Structure 1
């Protein structure tokens, strides 16, 4: 009655061999590479566009909560400085990332899946129509045979109907 417990290495191997672990690893690597692209777009396109109205570096936008907000003689910042430019930059970066993921990945995949589902439903509908039509034809044949037998025992030209052996 002693059950063999899987070893630590066997459990780890089973964990690694599951498909979702590999998918997750691929997603992380692709996400990291994609982050570099988004960062380049923000630094190369968005920041210069924002810089057209002010400085090119969003991190330099700040407000002083408690004066004086200046660098003291020891190199330390004096006062309380709110760095809202870096928050704005991070927000823009997030919005750009979300827009690119949505418009280039999520939306096309949703349309593709919807198209496949519509094709599947259309195919099922055609098959159901064919099945119903075949069933109706068989019922009509049955009804015609029943009516033929009930209408008279004689077939064409006075010969006995099939199945009637006189």
Structure 2
């Protein structure tokens, strides 16, 4: 029997790593980590001071008590200020990413796609015109052949 040799674990792992989506994912993680610093700087340096001018920059101090007395670490405290702060930070970060990265990239890609379609459209017009000319030439040759056969 001619048994097919299965690839080794190392060969399978190497093939897995060399697939494009793994490399793309690794690049995305590295770029995302680097971009996180930019976004955090924008949020910490610009957005938080603006929000702090209206209220407070530190929402962690806000909480609610579920037990009869909450002093220090005693009692059951709901730290809703921390949740609100994290939620606001997420929304602000998402807005910065959308308006500084996603929206400009989408506009660029749509313009590039429109240019590509316009370029393809001109080729199609030329091809259709050439096809029509070739059909006319064919029809003229067929007409000449038909008239030439009638004279014999």
**TM exceeds 0.5?**
yes
Higher strand share: 1
Residue 90 of structure 1: aligned partner: 86
**Residues 56 and 134 of structure 1, relative CA distance in 2, 3 Å threshold:** closer
SS across alignment from 1:70? coil
TM-score by length of 2: 0.76
Higher helix share: 2
Work out whether residues 65 and 80 of structure 1, in 8 Å CA contact, stay in contact via their aligned partners in 2.
Answer: yes
Offset, 1:48: 3.1
Of residues 85, 102, 121 in structure 1, which corresponds to 2:117? 121
- Alignment gaps of 5+ in structure 2: none
**Mapping for residues 13-162 of structure 1, pairs under 5 Å:** 13-71=14-72, 77-140=73-136, 146=143
TM-score by length of 1: 0.70
Q: Deviations over 1:104-149 (max 9, x none)?
A: 22222222222222222222222222223334445556667748x9
**Residues 5 and 79 of structure 1, relative CA distance in 2, 3 Å threshold:** same
- Alignment gaps of 5+ in structure 1: 72-76, 154-166
Structure scoring higher RCO (CA < 8 A, sep ≥ 6) equals 2
Question: In structure 1, what is the Cα distance between the partners aligned to 2:117 and 2:93?
Answer: 35
Work out whether residues 70 and 78 of structure 1, in 8 Å CA contact, stay in contact via their aligned partners in 2.
Answer: yes
Work out whether residues 61 and 83 of structure 1, in 8 Å CA contact, stay in contact via their aligned partners in 2.
Answer: yes
Offset, 1:4: 0.8
**Residues 128 and 56 of structure 1, relative CA distance in 2, 3 Å threshold:** closer
Residue 3 of structure 1: aligned partner: 4
**Number of matched residues?**
148
Question: In structure 2, what is the Cα distance between the partners aligned to 1:33 and 1:7?
Answer: 36
**Residues 139 and 23 of structure 1, relative CA distance in 2, 3 Å threshold:** closer
**Residues 132 and 64 of structure 1, relative CA distance in 2, 3 Å threshold:** same
